[in-house]
Structures are given as C-alpha cells and as structure tokens.
Chains A and B, each alone.
Chain A
C-alpha cells in the first residue's frame, strides 16, 4: 500500500487563489518531500521538510508537517496557470533506508 496518499485527488481553482494539498502517511519518517510533475515530464523537487521541522517556506510555497497526525500540507499562494501540474509527496520509511515512497498525487488545474 502507499506510504503517502494525497488529498484531494484533483483540484481546480482560478488564478490568484490559493491551493492546498494534503498528504497522509503511515509510518514514522525522517523527512518528507514534495515534488511537481508537469504533463509528460519528470518529477521536479519542490521542498524537503525534516521530521523535527513544523513549517517551511519557499517562495509561494508553504509546507507544514504534523508528525503526531502523520500528515503534511502544501500551500501554493497566489496560484498561476503555470502551477498546473500534479503534486506528489514522498516519504522515507524511517530508520536507515534510502528509499522514497511516493504518494498518489494531486492534480491541480489553475484556470487563467
């Protein structure tokens, strides 16, 4: 089964609005990462948040992590049409593992 599962599966908003995507996972982790995938392209890393961090910002992106609830959220503020993509969370499984497990993804559509 998936370590990370995103919610919602799909999200449609207008330019300028904020987009919030959530990720839940099952086991303890060392860090959680968010990636973006444009249609027909490979994944691109957006941000990494460690298990001892609660919030992290990068430009218009804000990521939160709640290890007690085993969940994370990605907020994109003032969205643009270029933000249209699928967004994935990825986690390790804790311990000394080098494997990333990717979630099912949220498809974001931003209308101009």
Chain B
C-alpha cells in the first residue's frame, strides 16, 4: 500500500481565497483524521470520520473550515475564505479501527501558507 496520500504537498495562497486539501486514506481503514500542526499550538485534531461519517468536529476552528468524506477513499478539508492565521501544516491520518487499540498512519502533510 502507498500509505496515506495527501495533495497538494505545498500550497501558497492569498488571504480570502478558497483552499482545498485532499486526502486518500489507506485502503480498508475505517477512521480518518484531520490534524493541524503549528509551532504555537502543536498538533491539533480538527475532525475525524468513522466509516465516512463525521464523528467529532469540535476541533474545527470556525465556520470557515469544512470537511467531507464522500467515500471511503477520499476526504477533503476546505478553508473558505483563508486567512494568514490558517498557515500551518495539515495532516491527514487513517487507522484500521479506533485509536483505543490501533495506531494512526499519517500522510506527509500539506504545508499551507496564506499571505
């Protein structure tokens, strides 16, 4: 398996533009997680899905952020409109089952810069 795939790897955009980050989890994994990593706040869980259904989005910063998982092999995280404070590395991770028993596999991340 190729592991968790994220695209793009780098994104530079201007404030106010829409940004869409993409993730393909490992085939057969039931859980998908979106994280954001910054120097100031560390690694934060934004939202996670189980069997394509959003379970907990309490970490989503505000209404400008939205995430979807239309099928088991694809998820998107959208920011509209983007702001400079959204600059961070965004990770997608998947796991076979809940993290009570299983490790999470992380993608390489998308480095987002909003100017």
- A residues with a Cβ closer than 8 A to B are 2, 30-31, 33, 41-45, 48, 88, 90, 92, 96-105
**Complex-state Cα separation, A30 to B35, whole angstroms:** 21
Cα of A30 to Cα of B98 in the assembled complex, Å: 12
| Residue numbers in A under 8 Å from B91 (CB-CB) | 42-43
B48 within 8 A of A: yes
Pairs A–B under 8 Å by Cβ, sample size 27: A2-B42, A30-B100, A33-B103, A41-B108, A41-B109, A42-B4, A42-B91, A42-B93, A42-B106, A43-B43, A43-B91, A43-B93, A43-B106, A45-B104, A45-B105, A90-B99, A96-B100, A98-B50, A98-B56, A98-B98, A98-B99, A98-B100, A100-B33, A100-B99, A102-B43, A103-B42, A104-B42
- Which A-chain residue is minimally distant from B9 (CB atoms)? A40
Interface size band for B? 20 to 34
Q: Do A42 and B108 have beta carbons less than 8 Å apart?
A: yes
Choose from A42, A98, A103 the contact partner of B109 (Cβ within 8 Å). A42
**In the complex, how many angstroms separate the beta carbon of A1 from the nearest chain B beta carbon?**
11
Given contacts A42-B4, A42-B109, contact A48 B42 (CB under 8 A): no
Q: Is the CB of A31 within 8 A of B105?
A: no
Which of A2, A31, A44 is within 8 Å of B100, CB to CB? A31
> How many Å from the CB of B87 to the closest CB on chain A?
16
